[in-house]
Each structure stands twice: as structure tokens, then as C-alpha cells.
Structure 1
Amino acid sequence: MLGSHAIQPAEKSSELHARAGAAAADRASFARAEAKRGHARAAPREDEVRGDPKGTGRCVRLLSLVLSFVPALGTAPSAAQGSLPSRPWLDPALLPAAKAEGSLIVYSSTNEQEGLPLFKLFTEATGIKVDYVRASDAVLLPRMAIEFRADQRSYDIVQTATINKMPPQMLAEYEPAEANNISPDARDPNKRWHGVYANYNSPAYNTERVKASELPRSYEEFAQRKEWAGKVAIDGTDNEWLKGMVQYYGERDGIELIKRIVATLRPVVTDGHLAMARATGAGEYWVSLNNYVNLSMNVKLAGGAIDIWVLDPVTLFFGQVGVNAKAPHPSAARLAANFMLSRECQAFLARFGRLPTRKDVQSNPPGVIEMLTQKKVVTVLMSPEEERKWQRQFDQLFKGR
């Protein structure tokens, strides 16, 4: 059985919190929620920023979910992907000790509809009980820092898109065997984190509002689409995309281009990437100036009238996994990290439109990665200081008008 405890942000919840069931709300503090799960650890009250990360919120909810009630979304991997092999990620050097530990505590920003059935696969293969704690990146990062300073052994692995921003001493140096099968760009040279899925960025459009023949062939052409004014959206935290644009165009030309686009389109600044993808698929917005490709694909797979098109540059960062340097179950933690990089795990996540970091896992729909990589891909991995700098720049450009 797998337990889940989730912090529900007032902001950014939609893109990472596709919730399952009618779990009861609990307005108590996170510490009370932790106590209910049998790991009563003192925790301060935290402001939640975003699940991908950035925003604010204080609403806390305790979920007790049974995996059999969690629906699997998306479509199954295509037949071309073939049947999965026997589980090579079950490292015989780790498995006996991991089974003896018997438990695994996961901190993750991935919504329960993906995370719970994913770790059910891990439990079925190993017999190891999993406790799944879901919160946004911006809640998890300060929480883990506080627990590290307090010498608390609170979790085993963390799975978010911002592990590269964590101080290296908080993460165990570990190279899972399955890391040999992922993209070199998705491997931390210091072996503190590894990419589980790829967050490519691209514009998206409503296929009922806009014809494919009308789509801009470059970002420069966006600045000529006066008829789209007020009908274009962008998430208010897309600082990675902004940095990628400036890296590609150069600082002066890149900033000037963004200013022209903003002046012409008057983009609506939204709160949540998945919410924006759904709104674009529903026709509320005609175009998403930028969004995560996997979320646009998720809405398309669910029947939304949305599709992507690809322009130079394509900004890329990764959903990552790391092992706690103070993991209470170190062997189970390492085995789980190996699982997260496995073909089995990434094929499962592809059902939701997530894009794999492995070449032997086909994207869903097929051919998405091949289409994206025909353009110039700019990988963006920022420190906390860089992120603050680029968020300030984003706010000035998109919110200061």
C-alpha cells in the first residue's frame, strides 16, 4: 500500500495537481499532516510559491489515497514501443538491503494521478512500502533545507524540476546504473541528480481558432500578429524560457524582441501551465506564447483542441531525481532512483505526455522529440540567484507594461 500526503497550493496547483478522488480537506498545518502519517516531524509554516516552482499559498491538505482508486490518464504507450523487458533496474546489489529497510519516503512535485500509480509499480516489484509526499518545488526546497539543518532524516528521494538548485551537500553522490541510458545533458556531472523527463518549451495554439497556415514561422513574426492582441497567454513564471530566448538572440536583441511581442500581443499573464494549456485547448486563449510541451500534449491526448508548433529556440530543462544525503532508507532510495531512470518508469510517464530522457522510450504522441530537436535546443539550468534575476526581468517585461 502506498500513502500520499499533499500540500495544495492556492496558486500553481492546477499544473501539477490533477487530483484524484474526493479526499477530505485538512486545514491544519503540514506538521499535523505529517503526524497523521506516523512521521511527526516539526515543520514551520511555509508559503507555497509554484509547483514548477513559484507563486504563493498556505492551504494544506492531507490525502489518504488507495492506488486502486487512482485513474491512469493519457493513452497507453504505442505498440511500436513494444513490451517492456524484465526489470533490469532491480539491482541485485541493492535489492536485499532495500527490502530489509522495507520503506521509501518520496518528496515530489508530480501530481498524485501520475505519482501514485508510478510508485505502485515500484511497490509491486519490490514489496517496499512507499510514502508519497506531494508539494510544489517552492515548498519542498525550503522544507528540505530546514530539515537538513535540523539533521532530520525525513525523506529518501526527491523528484522535482529544481534539484539542480539544491546545495550539493544535501544530496548523495550516486550514479544509478540506468543513468547510462539517459541523455548526457540529463546527467549531473557531479552525480547529484539525473533527468527523469525532459521539459521542452514551445508555443501552442487552439486548432479551432487558428489555422496551421497562420502560425508564425519565427518569434519575430509574433510581433506582426496584431489581430491576436489579448488572445495570447503566457505563464507568469516562464523565466527559463526568457533566459533561453536571450541566450539564443543575445541580450540586447532578445530583450528588444520580447518588448515588441508584448507591445503587439498584450499577452495575458496566467497562473499555472496546465491551466493555461487547458484554457488554450478550450479556446479561451487562441495561442500560448510558451508552454511545457508535455502539458500541451497532455491536454491534446485528453481530446483538447490544442497542438504545438516549434520555433527556434526550444528551451529545455529536466524533471529530476536525487537521493537525500541523510536518507533514512539509503538502499531503497538508490534503488528507487534507478527505477526512476528505467525504461519501465519513463514509458509509464509517457502515457501522460511526459517526454523521456531515454532514447529507447517513444514519446507520446510519437515523433514529438524528433520534431523538437530539429530546432536549436537551449538547455537552461539556473542557480537560485539566476532564477531570481530572470524572474525580475520577466516581471518587468510582461507585468510592468
Structure 2
Amino acid sequence: MQKLVKRFEMSLKTKWAPLMAAVVWGLCAVTPLRAQPAAAALANPHEAIYMYKSADREAWLLERAKKEGGLTLYTSLSPTESGPLSAMFEKKYGIKLTIWRGLSDGVVQRVVNESRAKRHVVDVVETNGPEMEILAREKMLSEFYSPHLVDLPQGMIPKHRLWMPDRVNFFVVAFNTQKLKLEDLPKHYEGFTEAKWKGRIAIEATDAEWMGGLVNSLGEQRGMTFFKKLSDQKPDVRKGHILLAQMVAAGETDVGLTIYNANAQSLKQRGAPIDWVPMEPTLARPQGVGVVRQAPHPHAAALFADFIISPEAQALLNSMGRPPANQKVKSNLNNFNYVLTDPGIVVDEAEKWNQHWTRLFLTK
């Protein structure tokens, strides 16, 4: 526990400081230092359910899930995607899916607060990889088996296996098609440091993660030189990736440099004047799904985890502009070269890159 508190103190300036605070003090409140042996505190009450591997897995889970009466999902997926996904699941299995939706940090905060209060409500969590990593490190998730795990990119699966990738976010460049053509764009991010782009570009306020990934990819000297020059361009800084994509589509800015391709693709498919391009180097961040260790409906939780990474659900995500993780689903949304970021490293290096990001883009 002392090590956990120390890590919390070191993370006070990071993007996840409020979440780590809730985790640390929540655990202190729930589990006194001398209350239980360590093994008992970390016992997994649903391990046999989550790791059931027999050939009748789906039927076995479904029979028991129906007796549980439903399940609850916490996710950062927008309602335009989570709604159809829920409808498909309910139609296929006849099990009611209750969804609470929030931004990724809000999802983690809610899980932490409920754990602290010993309110076991949520069964499955689905959100950004780094936030899933926080929950995994604090032992709130459980490893689960699925016959579809073999179809996932093995490099995206964390070594601890406490959550699994279900979709991928790519940081891409999006542009307003009424103001620019594809051939007007540079081939590399460094091209946006040219004078002609000043006043025409925007970035998202919390994307220190993107900065860290680019610097790690390009090398410290080249990467930091780029970001210092980009800072001199004084890009418009807005909070919210959906908002940033909407700004580009509305023509409020010509180009967004840190757009999630799923957000741009969703607007494009609805007829908005926006398009996107993977810019070298294109960063990819896995999004994840995990079953909760203390889930009140563990059979239904395992059934939904199987479902969301199945080809059927992954094809639905792909049709809505969300790049799928399952490699059986062929997609034009991930058919390009990219650099995969490690959510664990993102969390570990958050303080460093947040300090650089704040100095260059948030305090001028």
C-alpha cells in the first residue's frame, strides 16, 4: 500500500491524477492494511466462470446469464455506436444490456468510486487503453477467456491479459474538404511547421500522449524540435476529440492534427465535408474491454466480452467507422502502416509528457 501511495504522489501532475487519487484512497478506505491477508484481498470470485473453456462455452454462459437477468456496461463509446451494439447483443441473446456512457476518465472515476463504496454495479468496462490499464493495475479487472482471442493482434494484448483490445484509435490528420484537397497536405507532420499553416491548424488539449508517441518514434532530438516549432505556430487548442473533428467539419479550422480517425470517419459517412489521412508516423492506440472482478452478473459479463470481440460485433463497429481489432474483419480503417503505442508506457510516462505539453501548448 505504501508503494501505491508513493506512486499516487508522483502522479499528481499527470492526466490521471484524479483517477489515481480515487484509486489510492478508495483502496485505503475499503481495505485496511491489516484487515485481510494479501491472497484473500486479491481473490478472484469469478475466475472459473471467466476462464471456462469447454466447447459448450456460449450455451453454458447464456443459460446462466439469463438467470442473472441482465448486465451493466460502462463505456466511452458514443451512443451512436453503443446503441446499435446493444441492440445486436439483446436481439441475439435476449439479455438486457444497461449502458452508462461517459468520457474515459469519467468511466474510470465511476468504477473507482463504486468500488470504494462497495457498490458492485458494473459488469464490463470498455474504454481507452490507458484507462483500462489503470483499472487493471488496481486489480479491478479479471482475465477472461474467449475463443476469439486468437483473432486479435497479439502485440496489442497486454502481458497481464486483464483486458483485451476490441477496437483501435488512430491519431490522424483530418481536413475540411471545402478548404483543402488531399494533395495540399504535407506527407509528414513536420510539414505543418511551415509558415503557410500558421492559423490553420488545431490540436486536442489532452494529447500529451500523442506527443510522447511521436517523440519516441522520431527520436528525442528530432521529435522535440518538431514540437517546439509546432508550438511557435500557435495551433488552436480545444478539449474533446469529437469537438475537434466537428470543428474541422464546420470549417472553424482547416486541419486537425490529433484527430481520432473514427470520429472523422463517422462525420464523413454522415455527409460532412471532412476527410482524413494517416500521417507519418501514424500512432495507434488499442481500446479495450474488460470484465470486472466483482461483477454482479459474471456469466452475462463473460458472454458480452465474447460478443464484442466476435467478428459479428466487430463488423458492426467497422460499419460505423470504428476500426476493429479482430483481424478476421477486413477494414479500410486500419489498412496502412502505423506505430502501436503501449498503454502501460503511456501511463508510466504521463507526467513527463504532460509537463512538456503544458509548457508548449497550454500556457501560452
Counterpart for residue 378 of structure 1: 340
* Secondary structure in structure 2 of the residue aligned to 1:319: strand
* Secondary structure in structure 2 of the residue aligned to 1:96: helix
Within the candidate set 268, 290, 294, 2:262 is matched to: 294
Counterpart for residue 113 of structure 2: 146
* Secondary structure in structure 2 of the residue aligned to 1:369: coil
% identity of equivalent residues: 32
Letter in 1 for 2:334: I
| Deviation for aligned residue 1:152 | 2.5
Counterpart for residue 182 of structure 1: 152
Query: Cα deviations across residues 65-97 of structure 1 (Å, max 9, x unaligned)?
Result: xxxxxxxxxxxxxxxxxxxxxxx9971231211
| Deviation for aligned residue 1:330 | 0.6
| Deviation for aligned residue 1:384 | 4.0
Within the candidate set 200, 208, 213, 1:244 is matched to: 213
Query: Cα deviations across residues 19-76 of structure 1 (Å, max 9, x unaligned)?
Result: xxxxxxxxxxxxxxxxxxxxxxxxxxxxxxx9xx99xxxxxxxxxxxxxxxxxxxxxx
Distance change in 2, residues 1:335/1:387 (3 Å) = same
| Deviation for aligned residue 1:144 | 1.4
Contact 2:322/2:333 (CA < 8 Å) preserved in 1? no
Counterpart for residue 211 of structure 1: 181
- Gaps of at least 5 residues in structure 2 are 1-14, 20-54
Q: Does 1:260 align with 2:229?
A: yes
Query: Cα deviations across residues 145-187 of structure 1 (Å, max 9, x unaligned)?
Result: 2322333311100111121221251111212221221111332
Within the candidate set 161, 165, 168, 1:195 is matched to: 165
Contact 1:248/1:378 (CA < 8 Å) preserved in 2? no
State the Cα RMSD in Å. 2.3
Distance change in 2, residues 1:90/1:244 (3 Å) = same
- Distance, in Å, in 1 between the alignment partners of 2:191 and 2:230 is 9
User: How high is the TM-score relative to the length of structure 1?
Assistant: 0.72
- Distance, in Å, in 2 between the alignment partners of 1:346 and 1:398 is 36
Counterpart for residue 308 of structure 1: 276
More helix by share: 2
Counterpart for residue 395 of structure 1: 358
Aligned length, in residue pairs: 310
- Distance, in Å, in 1 between the alignment partners of 2:324 and 2:189 is 26
* Secondary structure in structure 1 of the residue aligned to 2:160: coil
Letter in 2 for 1:120: A
| Deviation for aligned residue 1:111 | 1.8
User: How high is the TM-score relative to the length of structure 2?
Assistant: 0.79
The 5 A counterparts of 1:54-73 are none
- Distance, in Å, in 2 between the alignment partners of 1:308 and 1:321 is 26
- Distance, in Å, in 1 between the alignment partners of 2:56 and 2:125 is 18
Counterpart for residue 70 of structure 1: none
Contact 1:199/1:293 (CA < 8 Å) preserved in 2? yes
Contact 2:170/2:282 (CA < 8 Å) preserved in 1? yes
- Distance, in Å, in 1 between the alignment partners of 2:57 and 2:254 is 46
Distance change in 2, residues 1:185/1:235 (3 Å) = same
Contact 1:243/1:380 (CA < 8 Å) preserved in 2? no
Distance change in 2, residues 1:212/1:117 (3 Å) = closer
- Distance, in Å, in 1 between the alignment partners of 2:161 and 2:98 is 25
Within the candidate set 77, 87, 95, 1:110 is matched to: 77
- Distance, in Å, in 2 between the alignment partners of 1:181 and 1:249 is 30
Within the candidate set 310, 319, 337, 1:342 is matched to: 310
Query: Cα deviations across residues 316-360 of structure 1 (Å, max 9, x unaligned)?
Result: 112211000000011110011011101111111122210011222
| Deviation for aligned residue 1:205 | 1.4
- Gaps of at least 5 residues in structure 1 are 1-49, 55-87
- Distance, in Å, in 1 between the alignment partners of 2:190 and 2:80 is 38
Q: Does 1:99 align with 2:66?
A: yes
Contact 2:321/2:333 (CA < 8 Å) preserved in 1? no
Distance change in 2, residues 1:239/1:380 (3 Å) = farther
Distance change in 2, residues 1:285/1:345 (3 Å) = same
- Distance, in Å, in 2 between the alignment partners of 1:208 and 1:116 is 31
The 5 A counterparts of 1:229-240 are 229-240=198-209
Letter in 2 for 1:229: K
- Distance, in Å, in 1 between the alignment partners of 2:150 and 2:228 is 42
Within the candidate set 197, 200, 208, 1:228 is matched to: 197
| Deviation for aligned residue 1:104 | 0.5
- Distance, in Å, in 1 between the alignment partners of 2:330 and 2:209 is 25
- Distance, in Å, in 2 between the alignment partners of 1:172 and 1:129 is 22
Distance change in 2, residues 1:341/1:169 (3 Å) = same
- Distance, in Å, in 2 between the alignment partners of 1:232 and 1:386 is 26
- Distance, in Å, in 1 between the alignment partners of 2:138 and 2:181 is 48
- Distance, in Å, in 2 between the alignment partners of 1:378 and 1:126 is 34
What stretches of structure 1 move > 3 A for 4+ residues in a row?
382-385
Q: Which moved more, 1:200-209 or 1:380-389?
A: 380-389
Distance change in 2, residues 1:126/1:235 (3 Å) = same
Letter in 2 for 1:151: K
- Distance, in Å, in 1 between the alignment partners of 2:302 and 2:248 is 40
